[in-house]
Amino acid sequence: MESQLVDPFQRAIRYLRVSVTDRCDFRCVYCMSEKMTFLPKKELLTLEELDRLCSAFVRLGVEKLRITGGEPLVRRDIMTFFRSMSRHIESGALREITITTNGSQLERFADDLYAAGVRRINVSLDTLDGEKFARVTRWGRLPQVMRGLDAAQKAGLKVKLNAVALKDFNDDELLTLTHFCAERGMDLTWIEVMPMGDIGNEDRLGQYWSLNDVRSQLARHYTLTDLPDDTGGPARYVRLEETGQRIGFITPLSHNFCESCNRVRVTCTGEIYTCLGQEGHSDLRAPLRSSEADATLEDAIRAAIALKPKGHDFDYSRQTVDGRVSRHMSHTGG
* Residues of the binding site: 17, 24, 28, 30-31, 66, 70, 100, 124, 160, 194, 258, 261, 263-265, 275
Query: Residues 155, 111: contact at Cβ < 8 Å?
Result: yes
Q: Which of 282, 283, 288, 233 is nearest to 261 (CA)?
A: 233
- Cα(217)–Cα(176) distance, rounded to whole angstroms? 13
Question: Nearest 5°: phi and psi at 69?
Answer: -140, -140
Residues at the binding site for [4Fe-4S] cluster are 24, 28, 31, 258, 261, 275
Question: Nearest 5°: phi and psi at 102?
Answer: -85, -5
Query: Residues 214, 165: contact at Cβ < 8 Å?
Result: yes
Query: Residues 166, 193: contact at Cβ < 8 Å?
Result: yes
List residues bridging with 263 in a β-sheet: 15
- Cα(311)–Cα(252) distance, rounded to whole angstroms? 10
Residues at the binding site for S-adenosyl-L-methionine are 30, 70, 124, 194
Query: Residues 137, 24: contact at Cβ < 8 Å?
Result: no
- Cα(71)–Cα(38) distance, rounded to whole angstroms? 13
Residues at the binding site for GTP are 17, 66, 100, 160, 263-265
CB-based contacts of 182, cutoff 8 Å, min separation 6:
240, 243, 245
Amino acid (one-letter) located at 315: D
CB-based contacts of 10, cutoff 8 Å, min separation 6:
none
- Cα(159)–Cα(187) distance, rounded to whole angstroms? 7
